[in-house]
Chains A and B, each alone.
Chain A
């Protein structure tokens, strides 16, 4: 017996406005809309709707909207509708609940509980329209020796670094989880913006090798698509130890999304689920990590920085300190609100910690140990706006990874159904008919627009603080104040309460 579950959202059509042009029907890969020849009208099956808003956006007469269903079980603060429905769903199927994108639960968002400073009287704000306002930075080790040549000039003893014109990178999203056109959009945008995108664990499509100098390639536990040319094509190599959306488990790409092209790029069979292991089976300890770091450096002749990405978990500070002593050039920390193409719901919603707290603790620990310059710190999961970027850098990050925001720029409406592979926006799908809906010429431009806009806002906020280099903002925690935070939260973030003077 399968218990019927009422959909969370209902499709509402204004029949006065609907002209039965059937655009909605053609646009919906989930088969919500249909034309009834008997009545000459459109119908909708809300049980199939994922609320991706594709039909709403494309309806030429704006006749459609999606509303939250007011159907409800008896109101119960403990057993809410979703909780009950999930029990029904599991009793129906015996399966693990799957979800996509980031944790949607109402946990506190610490970005929204921090306020930024501005200059008044005693030092001047700086106007970015009239003065230089530098957002360029370099990622990597900064622990160079001071050595001189015979003429007394400083020798360049720095390890390889990544140059960024903006403090924002596109975070790891694999080809397979997202489409060819989405990848092309990210790669071209990274090139134009002077930053980097990240292949995720899905390998690098041959067509995109030409964007190599703006590409970070990932080496994950499944080693999908990892080979010599792949490593050599990249600007940097990222070892993925964990992901904020699903700390402690590996990736899962449903077989339905593994097309011929994806199969070739990943070097795995077509149509079969690609499940990467929870651990790297050659890394069961910190000293094992060191060996992989140096293996990758050997393979790339010490010409590329190595990033180690971890999920934000309870012991992040100590783990990061260990990584900083293991040869890594950059540590990427991914918060529990980070997105994913597919994750077990219970893990996505219950495992990991907020990136704000993890970042503050990692940065502080590395400084206490005197090794902050051994590594740069990248944070993501989730960074939603330029204000989040400014706060992250003031807490101690070097730069931010954005994933969800980048997908939103490409049209994603956060329906959290990526794992079904039927993305109506052409992003999280491999179906050719859907993929072609995302035009990379348009997509890359929208990404460039987004990051350019954020960078302007970052410059305005920096100028307000009287800071004209992003590097003078890094770790500048006096520029932040907390609001609505407990003493413990303030202590962990290393900031003072709003109203407390310098």
Chain B
């Protein structure tokens, strides 16, 4: 019997790419499909996915939950749970197209939700924490149900297949957003479960990741002290939780997060100016168990921006580029050239050096 994602560790190679229009203008998901197609050989047909930001302008103040259901019973149980905890503003099946190479899809639904005011106030939690806990409860407690996207005005679309096929399956050419990320997966084992594809999301955070981190169990055992449960056993999941913890719960900036998870070597820190040296030393001393080692290159999507970050030894490729208001991130430059042949600037960020691209006026670093 094959095992589901989460019952074992599944090392994967990958392709990642992302784009943002910092002026806030929208582009359809087709550009990501075009870009990832070029990197076809970096995936093996066992997982692909996308995250789009700004795609639900009509429901931008509501949490958009995307769910996979294995059965109608799981759906009924989940909808009961959702009904108790949220006001459902709108819900529907997510529109898809039949693609011959995409098979075995689960039931795929989305819901636009507002936390039930009474429940929320009785929980004594802030709204985002309330929503995050509801997501965790559905994923942990309702067999056959899985929330794979839960942010506002954003959505994750993923499944088992080549990413370009998954994009067509979800009809992403029909969505318009100011930022997109995409992931093609090369797992070493067959996951066979759509929930195991990437991006991984929590609230408006989405993470696509290429690599296999060697610090996994050190990071996992540490972050699980703070209410997170790493049920999928993937790098992407634990990295997302680390970022959520540091930014949302501890109030660090994204640049500071980079100095925690992809910290400079002590020898490098020693050569920096006094202020940088003090701040970075302090971050390493405060959160040493959240240092991530081994190869990774990630694109973090969040409301209003994208951040690219690679491991401190730069063991995975990562290219950034700019053209006018648009910024691009990709495992390979070819994918960027495919959708924008003429670029103003192309560069490879150093290992551990974050590249942050945000909507104008947002103020860098969150």
Contact = CB atoms under 8 A, between A and B. Distances in A.
Interface of A: 119, 122-124, 126, 131-132, 134, 136-138, 142, 144, 146, 153-154, 156, 158, 161, 367, 370, 372-373, 465-469, 471-479, 501-502
Nearest to B215: A472
A156 B282 contact: yes
B295 A476 contact: no
Interface string B204-219: 0000000111111111
A83 B3 CA distance: 55
Nearest to A125: B214
Interface residues of B, number: 47
Which of A123, A468, A473, A474 gathers most chain B CB within 10 Å?
A123
Contacts of A472: 214-215, 218-219, 291-293
16 contacts: A122-B212, A123-B294, A123-B295, A123-B315, A136-B266, A153-B279, A154-B282, A154-B283, A161-B285, A367-B222, A466-B214, A466-B293, A473-B218, A476-B215, A501-B8, A502-B10
A131 B263 CA distance: 15
Nearest to B188: A122
B95 interface: no
Interface stretch (B25-33, B191-199, B248-256): B248-256
A367 B221 contact: yes
B263 to A, nearest CB: 8
A144 B286 contact: yes
A467 B219 CA distance: 12
B289 A475 contact: yes
A158 B295 contact: no
Contacts of B213: 123
Given A466-B295, A501-B8, 20 more contacts: A119-B294, A122-B12, A126-B313, A134-B266, A142-B286, A154-B256, A158-B285, A158-B286, A367-B225, A372-B225, A467-B293, A468-B313, A469-B288, A469-B293, A472-B219, A474-B289, A475-B217, A475-B218, A476-B214, A476-B215
Which of A122, A134, A153, A367 gathers most chain B CB within 10 Å?
A122
Nearest to B264: A132
Nearest to A147: B251
Interface string B294-324: 1100000000000000001101000000000
A488 B34 CA distance: 53
B213 to A, nearest CB: 8
Given A475-B221, A476-B218, A370 B295 contact: no
Given A131-B313, A479-B217, A154 B279 contact: yes
Contact of A142 (B252, B285, B294): B285
Interface string B113-145: 000000000000000000000000000000000
B113 to A, nearest CB: 30
Contacts of B215: 467, 472-473, 476
B286 A478 contact: no
A122 B288 contact: no
Contacts of B349: none
Contacts of B288: 137-138, 142, 469, 471, 474
B9 A502 contact: yes
B267 interface: yes
A418 to B, nearest CB: 37
Contacts of B278: 156
The binding surface of chain A is classed by DSSP as loop
Nearest to A474: B218
B293 A124 contact: no
Return the 3 tightest CB-CB contacts between A and B, nearest first.
A502-B9, A472-B215, A466-B214
Interface string B77-106: 000000000000000000000000000000
B214 A123 contact: yes
B271 interface: no
A156 B283 CA distance: 9
Contacts of A501: 8-9
Contacts of A367: 221-222, 224-225
B265 A119 contact: no
B273 interface: no
A477 B222 CA distance: 12
A167 to B, nearest CB: 12
A269 to B, nearest CB: 45
B224 A142 contact: no
Given A123-B214, A131-B313, A477 B221 contact: yes
Interface string B241-263: 00000000011100010000001
Contacts of A122: 11-13, 188, 212
Contacts of A134: 265-266
B287 interface: yes
B342 interface: no
B344 interface: no
Contacts of A142: 285-289
A468 B262 CA distance: 11
A391 to B, nearest CB: 14
A362 to B, nearest CB: 13
B221 A465 contact: no
Nearest to B11: A122
Contacts of A144: 286
Contacts of B315: 123-124
Given A138-B285, A471-B288, A476 B217 contact: yes
A136 B219 CA distance: 18
A177 to B, nearest CB: 34
A469 B282 CA distance: 16
A123 B212 contact: yes
A471 B291 CA distance: 7
Contacts of B256: 154
Contacts of A146: 250-252
A394 to B, nearest CB: 9
Nearest to B9: A502
Nearest to A472: B215
A306 to B, nearest CB: 18
Contact of B217 (A153, A466, A477): A477
A478 B212 contact: no
A162 to B, nearest CB: 11
Contacts of B294: 119, 123, 466-467
A123 B11 contact: yes
